[in-house]
Amino acid sequence: MASRDIYTREAALQRVMYPRLCPDMQPGDMFAGRALEMEYRGVGLTPDVTLFGLAHGMGYFYREDFFQKALEQASGVEAEEIAGMMAYWREQNTTARVKSQYTERIRKHLPSDSFAGDVGIGFPLYRMTGAFVNYELLVREGLPGLERLIQGRPQNDFTRALKDSVALIGQCALHYAQQARVLSKPETAQALESIAARPPATLREAIQLTWLYNCLSGIMDYGRMDVYLGGFLARDLKSGLLTRQSALEMLVGLWRLMVARKTVYHGRVVIGGLGRPNEKNADEFALLAMEASRIVRDIEPQLTLRLYKGQDERLYRKGLELIGTGATYPLLYNDEVNVPAVQNALGVSRMDAEQYVPFGCGEYIIDHKSFGSPNGVINMLKALEVTLFNGRELIKGQQMGLAEGGLTAFDTFEELYAAYKRQIALSIEVLAEVEKLILVETAKDTPFLMMSLLYDGCIEQGRGMLEGGLEWLGATLESYGNINAVDSLQAIREMVYEKKLISRERLLEALAHDFEGFETERDLLVSAQKYGNNLEAVDSLAVDLHDFEARHIRKQAARVGLHSLLMVVINNSANTFLGRWTGASADGRKAREYMANANNPVGGRDTRGVTAMLLSLAKFPNAHHAGTVQNLKLSDGIFRDAPDKVKHLMDTYFDLGGTQLMVNVVRRGDLEDAIVHPERHQNLLVRVGGFSAFFVTLEEDVQQEILSRTLH
Amino acid sequence: MEGLVCDIQRFSIQDGPGIRTTVFLQGCTLRCAWCHNPEAIPARPVMMRVNTGGKEAEKPSSQPMTARRVMDVVLEDRPFYRQSGGGLTVSGGEPLLQAEFSLELLRLARAAGIHTALDTAGHVPWDALSAALPLTDLFLYDYKVSRDAARWLGAQDGRIRDNLGRLARAGAAIILRCPVIPGVNDNEEHLRAIAALLKDHPSIRSVELMAYHRLGTSKYRALGQAYSLEKLQPVDGPQKAAFLAQAKRLIAHPIKWG
């Protein structure tokens, strides 16, 4: 199959899928287009199949469970056909094809790829996600303009397939136009007919086109929306086509479709920040977007407000007002720190760095110029466990990673720390290799036509985004358990090596027994310095480890041949999932318990107040990673009594070098009460890490983790 | 120099302008019936029963600390003070019962260039207040009752009034802090007395009416003491609003209701 034409194949597949699989427009929908995620059938194509909250594959996907069900109901020739398809797709789905290329080394060091269901230090994540494409181009050129652009380039299989994709979007628009007529929605029908033929002329048409495109492409983040829609809003308001109120209703309608899409970890709408042409229009849009989020008050979109000094103050004020209502949005990003950091980390110009956007849970990429997926996952606490126990892990007793003798072999803390760093380094190196391999092998299977259509460079180069069309192809590595690892290392340094209150053998015994019968040792370990209190020794350790990890990951890009490979310290529920497969740790954490969220202190261990916690958070250097997220849990009383002081608190943190802040405003006691009486708190929104959720819908240990975070 | 420190509260937002660190000192000269920090009343530390992580333990109400060590903590938050116009608030108990220690804290804060506030009930020798005067940017001065002082405060209030007058005449910046205790001082007579004080003393900038709360109740239990206002409930919404409306009618100054 070396010379197969993946372009024509994908175009043909798209023709089979769309509009056949387009979910019907619902009577309450403001715009046409519902996403396909809930409709994944047995096989198909999409960049990121997320099922049950976990990355499930990319490209051509295959769902065994779906086929199994069909097989049970079939008989005779049909059953044979189904069995034949199963045999084919089991091996030929993109993820399987990628995995079949794993090297011996990868198989040895990444024995499992189920981070939520197995032990391991590193795990690959199969997905091609977090694309931020050129919506400005889409709304400026419209479908006919895109077709002209493609036509203007030398033709090949790729460009022909691209043209077919454009035509298909137009056909889907007309397919939905018919439905809209039936539902007596003449305005929607008209907009759909219009965008099939012309560039969008109104806000309604521009939203309709971008939304439809998102549904068909499988893209789940929505870009710098204030930039690409701000002009349409201004024009429609000026011409009197829309009032502020009717425009707001439109956004609310769009937001509700995003809610229905349930991407959970995505749904980023970025507003504010440097590098926005026509800033005034964008600002007005941003204000309206925040108002829409106040009304909708749900887990999506993940409204992301970028801030810089000199920006219209109303944006920040409005954002804080929204946060004060307990909406968890907007997430605040500090351009003053992030722009120079991105410039360095991704090695791009200042102008390009101003176009940074956090996708999904918070990985920075450059808007429609770079790509930051696939991802790998590394569990820093597991790496420490394996180092302490000479290559053995505690949950299943499995052998993995480097075995350099374990804790008893290290006579000084420095020796232990150096061995731990070697352990991490190995996992990082293998993960870098696997991420590169995923990109290379996926590119052989699919050009991702829909995404390539709007990614810079693809039309010009006549090549798909993964095969040279997109110049900056990078990847990210998600790091978890960092702070538990730091607290554990500090506790070992203090109690084992410095004060010698616990022997090395005794510590290993205590950990292996999950502290049962070792309460004295556990109390001692808990009493050691903990990160998040602005204390010198442990905070420097945190900074050193963070910087080592970030730099080592970054270094791999050149070795494996990526534009960038960067660390992110973000979160989904992975801190909890990975925690379930991690043994007791020297910070006093019991086996299988959740780990702290992202860079945040372990819940309840930041005892010196919110200012001390923020001082600790602001210490991390930022020039070598692609994003860290920070949670701040504030009681609603503080927000009510002293909103200005809350703003001062955040401003100081940002001035000190803070990159980002996600603020959860909760009423004291509400979370506890919600566990006992979930029915009374259906509306209680919480920030988990890289996403928001209704508290009552979360799994019990995820709830406990959030509850454990210190409320200031 | 060492003092007895009950608590150092960071991100303190109720004790003066901006983001502050409030240092609570042991010992008080009054015995207010509604006191919510009863552990801070005696001159020496008292033992409190506390429950930490399911374990019962005894803990002293304060620790001896040097002024330097206290200031090490206070100065950690300097960036927050700079941003917000905040600083150090020395409180208690009655901080001027440990006058030398309080003055030392104020002096060190001054030297570090941060805003200083002193939260006092004023029932102290004038000398202590007068020594604090040049070191204090803002006095948070308690004014609690207009009658029956002996009954409610455990002391006559002549000195409190005198000291307030002298402080005001010396030009000190003052915020008057008035706890509103249902059935004790939530009446027109008391509001009129406050209004009269403000009229007499232009250097009083504003008034803070502080609603009665029951957060101190558990501390009485931890101390094994009876709380004389055990049955007293905080006032609710409409009653509160009515009182505030009345206060605004009678008092021309800015009123903060916390």
Considering the domain architecture, whether residues A112 and A248 belong to the same structural domain is answered as: no
Considering the domain architecture, whether residues A222 and A269 belong to the same structural domain is answered as: yes
Instruction: Give residues with Cβ within 8 angstroms of B227, minimum separation 6.
Output: B38, B216, B217, B220
| Closest by Cα among B79, B74, B78 to B90 | B74
Considering the domain architecture, whether residues A206 and A120 belong to the same structural domain is answered as: no
State the total domains in chain A. Answer: 2
- How many other C-beta atoms lie within 10 A of the C-beta of residue A352? 19
Residue B122 has a pLDDT of 96
**Alpha carbon distance A225, A232 (integer Å):** 11
> Count of A–B CB contacts within 8 Å?
50
Contact A610 B9 (CB under 8 A): no
pLDDT of A672 strictly over 70: yes
Of the residues B19, B20, B55, the best mutation for testing chain A's interface (the one with the most A CB atoms within 10 Å of its CB) is B19
Supply the range of the domain harboring residue A435: 101-127+372-601
Set of chain B residues whose Cβ sits within 8 Å of the Cβ of A649: 11, 19, 80, 84
As a CATH number, domain B2-257 is: 3.20.20.70
Q: Are B58 and B36 in contact (CB under 8 A)?
A: no
Rounded to the nearest angstrom, the minimum Cα separation between A169 and chain B is 52
Set of chain B residues whose Cβ sits within 8 Å of the Cβ of A644: 84
**Alpha carbon distance A20, A29 (integer Å):** 19
Considering the domain architecture, whether residues A153 and A281 belong to the same structural domain is answered as: yes
Backbone angles phi, psi at A326, to 5 degrees: 85, 20
| Closest by Cα among A392, A452, A420 to A153 | A452
Confidence of residue A1 (pLDDT cuts 50, 70, 90): very low
Confidence of residue A51 (pLDDT cuts 50, 70, 90): low
pLDDT digits (tens, 9 = 90+) for B92-135: 999 999 999 999 999 999 999 999 999 999 999 999 999 999 99
pLDDT of A411 strictly over 70: yes
Mean per-residue pLDDT, A90-115:
93
| Closest by Cα among B224, B232, B231, B140 to B185 | B232
Of A608, A641, A645, the CB nearest to B84: A645
Contact B18 A648 (CB under 8 A): yes
Contact B18 A609 (CB under 8 A): no
Contact B18 A645 (CB under 8 A): yes
Residues of B with CB under 8 A from a CB of A: 9-11, 13-14, 18-19, 76-77, 79-80, 82-84, 86, 258
pLDDT digits (tens, 9 = 90+) for A283-312: 999 999 999 999 999 999 999 999 999 999
Rounded to the nearest angstrom, the minimum Cα separation between B45 and chain A is 22
**Which carries the bigger pLDDT value, residue A510 or residue A52?**
A510
Rounded to the nearest angstrom, the minimum Cα separation between B79 and chain A is 6
pLDDT of A2 strictly over 50: no
Set of chain A residues whose Cβ sits within 8 Å of the Cβ of B82: 652
Of A611, A638, A655, the CB nearest to B10: A611
- The label of the residue with tokens 């022997």 reads A503
Confidence of residue A52 (pLDDT cuts 50, 70, 90): low
Contact B9 A609 (CB under 8 A): yes
Considering the domain architecture, whether residues A114 and A182 belong to the same structural domain is answered as: no
Domain finish residue from A554, A580, A601: A601
pLDDT of A666 strictly over 90: no
Q: What share of chain A is helix, strand, coil (3-state, %, to 5)?
A: 55, 10, 35
Residue A619 vs residues A123, A251, A541, A609: alpha-carbon distances, Å: 28, 38, 11, 16
pLDDT of A217 strictly over 80: yes
Residue B30 has a pLDDT of 94
Residue A155 has a pLDDT of 96
Judge whether A636 lies within some domain: no
Judge whether A195 lies within some domain: yes
Identify the three-state secondary structure at position A223.
Answer: coil
Cβ neighbourhood burial of A529 (10 Å; 0-12, 13-18, 19+): middle
Residue B53 has a pLDDT of 61
| Closest by Cα among A705, A700, A659, A574 to A339 | A659
Rounded to the nearest angstrom, the minimum Cα separation between B11 and chain A is 6
Would you list the domain boundaries of chain B? Answer: 2-257
Integer distance in angstroms from the first to the last C-alpha of chain A? Answer: 60
Amino acid at A583: G
Judge whether A626 lies within some domain: no
Domain finish residue from A540, A575, A601: A601
Rounded to the nearest angstrom, the minimum Cα separation between A527 and chain B is 13
| Closest by Cα among B77, B235, B168, B143 to A648 | B77
pLDDT digits (tens, 9 = 90+) for B166-206: 999 999 999 999 999 998 899 999 999 999 999 999 999 99
**Alpha carbon distance A492, A538 (integer Å):** 11
Residue A697 has a pLDDT of 79
Contact A645 B13 (CB under 8 A): yes
Contact B84 A610 (CB under 8 A): no
pLDDT digits (tens, 9 = 90+) for B37-91: 999 999 999 998 877 666 788 899 999 999 999 999 999 999 999 999 999 999 9
ipTM more than 0.90?
yes
Q: Are A255 and A301 in contact (CB under 8 A)?
A: yes
- How many other C-beta atoms lie within 10 A of the C-beta of residue A414? 11
- How many other C-beta atoms lie within 10 A of the C-beta of residue B227? 19
Tell me A30's DSSP state: S
Mean per-residue pLDDT, A460-474:
95
Judge whether A618 lies within some domain: no
Average pLDDT, whole number, for chain A? 93
Set of chain B residues whose Cβ sits within 8 Å of the Cβ of A610: 10-11
Judge whether A680 lies within some domain: no
Of the residues B50, B55, B84, the best mutation for testing chain A's interface (the one with the most A CB atoms within 10 Å of its CB) is B84
Identify the three-state secondary structure at position A110.
Answer: coil
Confidence of residue A40 (pLDDT cuts 50, 70, 90): low
Domain finish residue from A568, A601, A634: A601
Judge whether A462 lies within some domain: yes
Considering the domain architecture, whether residues A299 and A418 belong to the same structural domain is answered as: no
Q: Are A435 and A442 in contact (CB under 8 A)?
A: no
Rounded to the nearest angstrom, the minimum Cα separation between A615 and chain B is 8
pLDDT of B5 strictly over 60: yes
Residues of A with CB under 8 A from a CB of B: 534, 608-612, 615, 638, 641-642, 644-645, 648-649, 651-652, 655-656, 712
Residue A38 has a pLDDT of 53
| Closest by Cα among A294, A302, A296 to A320 | A294
Of the residues B14, B55, B77, the best mutation for testing chain A's interface (the one with the most A CB atoms within 10 Å of its CB) is B77
Residue A701 has a pLDDT of 81
Across A533-654, the runs of DSSP E, i.e. the strands, are 564-569, 625-628, 631-635
Set of chain B residues whose Cβ sits within 8 Å of the Cβ of A612: 10, 76-77
Q: What pTM, to 2 d.p., does this model score?
A: 0.93
Considering the domain architecture, whether residues A514 and A394 belong to the same structural domain is answered as: yes
Q: Which long-range contacts (CB under 8 A, 24 or more apart) does B137-140 make?
A: B137/B87, B137/B173, B138/B16, B138/B17, B138/B173, B138/B174, B138/B175, B139/B167, B139/B172, B139/B173, B139/B174, B139/B175, B140/B15, B140/B16, B140/B89, B140/B91, B140/B175, B140/B177, B140/B208
pLDDT of A576 strictly over 70: yes
Considering the domain architecture, whether residues A486 and A576 belong to the same structural domain is answered as: yes
Contact A648 B83 (CB under 8 A): yes
Instruction: Give residues with Cβ within 8 angstroms of A237, minimum separation 6.
Output: A243, A244, A247, A284
DSSP string computed for chain B = -EEEEEEEEEEE-SSSSSSEEEEEES--S---TT-S-GGGSSSS--EEEEEETTEEEEEES-EEEEHHHHHHHHHHTHHHHHHHT-EEEEESS-GGGGHHHHHHHHHHHHHTT-EEEEEE---S-HHHHHHHGGG-SEEEEE---SS-HHHHHSS-SHHHHHHHHHHHHTT--EEEEEEE-TTTT-SHHHHHHHHHHHHH-TTEEEEEEEE---TTHHHHHHHT---TTTT-----HHHHHHHHHHHHHH--S-EEE-
pLDDT of A246 strictly over 50: yes
Residue A691 has a pLDDT of 76
Contact B86 A648 (CB under 8 A): yes
Rounded to the nearest angstrom, the minimum Cα separation between A526 and chain B is 12
Of B11, B76, B258, the CB nearest to A641: B258
Of the residues A334, A607, A617, A645, the best mutation for testing chain B's interface (the one with the most B CB atoms within 10 Å of its CB) is A645
pLDDT of A50 strictly over 80: no
Instruction: Give residues with Cβ within 8 angstroms of A81, minimum separation 6.
Output: none
Considering the domain architecture, whether residues A117 and A231 belong to the same structural domain is answered as: no
pLDDT digits (tens, 9 = 90+) for A354-402: 999 999 888 999 999 999 888 999 999 999 999 999 999 999 999 999 9
Contact B79 A651 (CB under 8 A): no
Contact A612 B10 (CB under 8 A): yes
Contact A712 B11 (CB under 8 A): yes
Tell me A48's DSSP state: -
